[in-house]
Structure 1
Amino acid sequence: MRVAYCLLSVCLLASCSSVNYVGIETYNPAEITFPGNVGKILVVNNAIPQPDDVGCEFMLFGEKVDTCRVKADSALFYACNGLGKAMADISFFKDVLLYHDAVRTDDVYYEDKKLTPDQVKALCEETGTDAVVSVDRMLFESKKNIVAYPEGYVGGEIQVKISGVVRGYLPGRPNPLATVYVADSVFFNEEAPNQIILDRFLPSSENALRASAEYIGMKTSPNFVPHWNSETRWFYTGMGSRWKEASAYAQSEKWDKAVEHWKHLYENSGSWKSKAKAASNIALGCEMKTELEEAYEWANKSGELFKKGEGEDGKNAKLLQLYIEVLRNRVRSDKKLNMQFGE
């Protein structure tokens, strides 16, 4: 089974609610598909750390500190470590290794420099791995600001902007398998009675850089390994006994029973709205059972009923259109996921 669903539904308006929401965890394929014979991955640092005085700013009580320096060399290691650990935690590849040395020896930190085919081959032969994931460039912009408030306390904020290039390589190929461009910002905020106490809680600029680099590495991992996403779905409720029984089964995650009741309501209702709601609920039940193509069919039935009954601009019609698109993408993703698992 490719999908797990673990959160119980939460009623919006207690007993008179017409919609219940339920959490869902979906298992999604990696954005990049490695060949089936790739079992071991090597994560390497092929980036050059930027100079200590580049990309940093420190404002202390409204005055710019000209001596601001932030070392970025260890941040590159943390980026690779975060990426490698996140990939290893998924247990998709047989092994994920972190290369012990930086690969590049030049000092052009701003250059995006790819690994050569010879380098990829040598790295794989040295470590016994089948492919390489390389951080080819990673740049940081760090801004620290300490302010004093009239109320008698101080506050500190550090903002770290990260941009980078990460690639996947296979030995024997003249070009990278894929290129991923990453960019994000991380914020750190603390308040304290004075600056001495603030310094105990607000990380140093270097530690903030390391934490941000590890975060961006972890965030990049879904490009290379299957991953889980948290999403939200809904199902309609009603006042009749069948509706209430179906809702009870859904809340206890007995989706077979819930679908059975919703199908009875769909087949026996004379109201287009009840049929539309039941069809939407059946789609959800099928999705929860990972019957994605059947879920897609029922969502389309519901969408057509809502469009006929309330028009294309109706609230429910728009909701179903969004759900149809979600299921369409899930059907595609499931096929890609099966391919990545060799099924």
Structure 2
Amino acid sequence: MKKILYISLFLAFLTSCTVVNTVSIDYLQPADVSFPPGVKVVGVVNNTPQGDYVSKLEELNSNGSPASNLIGAIEGNGKTATEELANSVYEGNYFDEVIICDSALRSKDYFTRDTKLSQSEVKELTESLGVDMILSLEKVNLYLKKSVIYYEDAPFPQGVIDATVRTMTRVYVPTKSEPIVTLSDTDSIYWVTGTWNVDKSIIEEGSSFAATLPVKHILPTWKSVTRYYYASGAVEMRDAAVYVRENNWDEARKLWEQVYGRKNEKMKMRAAYNIALCCEMKDNLQEAKEWLDKAAEIAEKKVTKNEKGEVETSTGDYKLIAYYLADLTTRLSNIQKLKLQMMRFSGDF
């Protein structure tokens, strides 16, 4: 499954007489973790410690040293994060149903510690919620520090609060005594505050942001990429570009194949590259790889390498082809995994 967006953007690329156009494509990439098709209903639970973060805010704001950039560390809001995680998983439309239990399982736990759910707890939760699997949010931590940002139209720098957010999410099924996978994520977010006072809204927003991080491990996600294609050098290349803008890839390919049949190696290489893109647009990834290999074989003739086989000098064509080849190879290697994950939809993707 893919989404295509054509962009009317023309780039002077490689040389002043070479025109390269762009097309944007969104394609589905597999999640890091695969679940059996029988896992249809998922429960999302809050297994984070429930400290009084409002009091902690007062402590952070009163104890911060003006001479230090460090503000401090604080637990996120587990209830807010759990709700956001459940909503993100639900919006992915991957599981039939998502059930949330945002009531704290560790309501008397005020300190960060590694507390896994026991198998008996998992069985009790799956039975009471009526789910096949448990996604348990177990840690949400925010590490805060001060910085500044400068705006051209502002007379003074603005205070910024930078946060490094870290989460831990575990996945449980009732037939296993241990989590089937533990997901740890780290990312950053910031707020332009004018001052460095940490208020409740920052913790709430940081917690919501943190909860989105595990989703890429759990659900297949869309990836947006920009592809390039040659649109000059021969009449057929320019005419084919018109067909591409009309989404008529079949007619464009006929013209590129005409160019490929000629003796000029540079145009032959560029035509092969464009045909590879045509094949990808038609979801023929293996054929796309074969055509791109043909383009790469010609491009490598203009490359010089050292004794170790490392590229020392190359052309713009070679770099463009190598970039595309690396991404296409990765996409091709993920196809079987994606098919496995999409079996619940009868492979319709």
Q: TM-score range by the shorter chain?
A: 0.7 to 0.9
Please, which runs of 5 or more residues in structure 1 have no aligned partner? 196-201
Aligned pairs for 1:241-280 within 5 A: 241-267=235-261, 269-280=262-273
Name the CA shift for 1:243/1:204 in 2 (closer, same or farther; >3 Å).
same
The CA deviation at 1:188 is 0.9
**Structure 1 residue 156 displacement after superposition:** 2.9
Rounded Cα–Cα distance in structure 2 between residues aligned with 1:8 and 1:69? 45
Task: Return the alpha-carbon distance in structure 1 between the equivalents of residues 229 and 260 of structure 2.
Answer: 14
**275-284 or 257-266, larger mean C-alpha shift:** 257-266
Q: 1:148 to 1:218 in 2, by over 3 A?
A: closer
Aligned position for 1:21: 22
1:171 alignment counterpart: 174
Counterpart code for 1:162:
V
For the aligned residues, what is the CA RMSD? 3.2
CA distance in 1, matches of 2:244, 2:49: 53
Determine the C-alpha separation between the residues in 1 that align with 2:320 and 2:80. 41
Shift of residue 177 of structure 1? 1.8
Contact 1:33–1:340 (CA<8 Å) still a contact in 2? yes
Distance change >3 Å, CA 293–CA 190, structure 1 → 2: same
Q: State whether structure 2 residue 39 is matched by structure 1 residue 41.
A: no
Match of 1:127 in 2: 129
The letter of the residue matching 2:221 is H
Instruction: Give distance in 2, aligned partners of 1:148 and 1:271.
Output: 53
Q: For residue 50 of structure 1, report the CA deviation from its aligned partner.
A: 5.0
**What residue in structure 2 maps to residue 198 of structure 1?**
none
Distance change (3 Å), C-alpha of 1:59 and 1:250 = farther
1:63/1:235 CA distance change after superposition, 3 Å: same
Letter in 2 for 1:97: I
Q: Percent identity?
A: 27
Is 1:157 the counterpart of 2:150? The answer is no
1:257/1:282 CA distance change after superposition, 3 Å: same
User: In the alignment, what sits opposite 2:98?
Assistant: 96
Distance in structure 2 (CA, Å) of the matches to 1:148 and 1:314? 40
Aligned-pair distance for 1:317?
A: 2.1
Confirm or deny: 8 A CA contact 2:74 2:143 kept in the other structure.
Answer: no
Any idea what SS the aligned residue of 1:8 has? strand
* Distance (Å, rounded) in 2 between the aligned partners of 1:61 and 1:54: 12
Q: In 2, distance between residues paired with 1:229 and 1:251?
A: 22
Q: CA deviation at 1:252?
A: 2.8
Is residue 181 of structure 1 aligned with residue 184 of structure 2? yes
Task: Name the residue aligned to 2:144.
Answer: 142
Tell me, in whole angstroms, the C-alpha distance in 1 between the residues paired with 2:28 and 2:209.
21
User: Could you tell me how far 1:282 is from its partner in structure 2?
Assistant: 0.9
Contact 2:72 2:143 in 1 (8 A): no
Aligned residue among 113, 122, 130 for 1:111: 113
Match of 1:329 in 2: 330
SS at match of 1:167: strand
Q: Does the 8 Å CA contact 1:249/1:255 hold for their aligned counterparts?
A: yes
- Number of aligned residue pairs: give it: 328
Question: 1:3 is aligned with what amino acid?
Answer: K
Q: Which amino acid aligns with 2:7?
A: L
Cα contact 1:9–1:23 (8 A) shared by 2: no
Q: 1:320 to 1:282 in 2, by over 3 A?
A: same
Judging changes above 3 Å, is the alpha-carbon distance between structure 1 residues 122 and 282 closer, same or farther for their aligned structure 2 residues? same
**Structure 1 position 238 matched with structure 2 position 240:** no
Write the distance in 2 (CA, Å) between the matches of 1:180 and 1:323: 30
The TM-score, its normalising length taken from structure 1, stands at 0.85
Measure, in 2, the Cα distance between the counterparts of 1:78 and 1:144: 24
* Structure 2 counterpart of 1:11: 10
Query: Residue 179 and residue 260 in structure 1: after superposition, are their counterparts in 2 closer, same or farther (change >3 A)?
Result: farther
1:292 aligned onto 2:281: no
Q: After superposition, what is the alpha-carbon deviation per residue over 1:10-68, rounded to whole angstroms, capped at 9, x for unaligned?
A: 20139954212221111111111111100011111111145646697449998479xx8
State the Cα distance separating 1:274 from its structure 2 match: 0.8
With 55-64 and 170-179 compared, the bigger mean Cα shift is at: 55-64
Q: Check whether the contact 1:24–1:233 (CA below 8 A) recurs between aligned residues.
A: yes
Q: Retained in 2: the 8 A contact 1:5–1:23?
A: yes
1:40 partner amino acid? V
For 1:90 and 1:22, the matched residues in 2 are separated by 25
Q: Distance in 2 between matches of 1:129 and 1:122?
A: 10
2:171 and 2:181 in contact (8 A); partners too: yes
Shift in CA distance, 280/59, structure 1 to aligned 2, threshold 3 Å: farther
CA contact (8 A) 1:76 1:213 kept: yes
Residues 80-95 of structure 1 correspond to what in structure 2 (within 5 A)? 80-95=82-97
Please give the TM-score of this superposition, normalised by the length of structure 2: 0.83
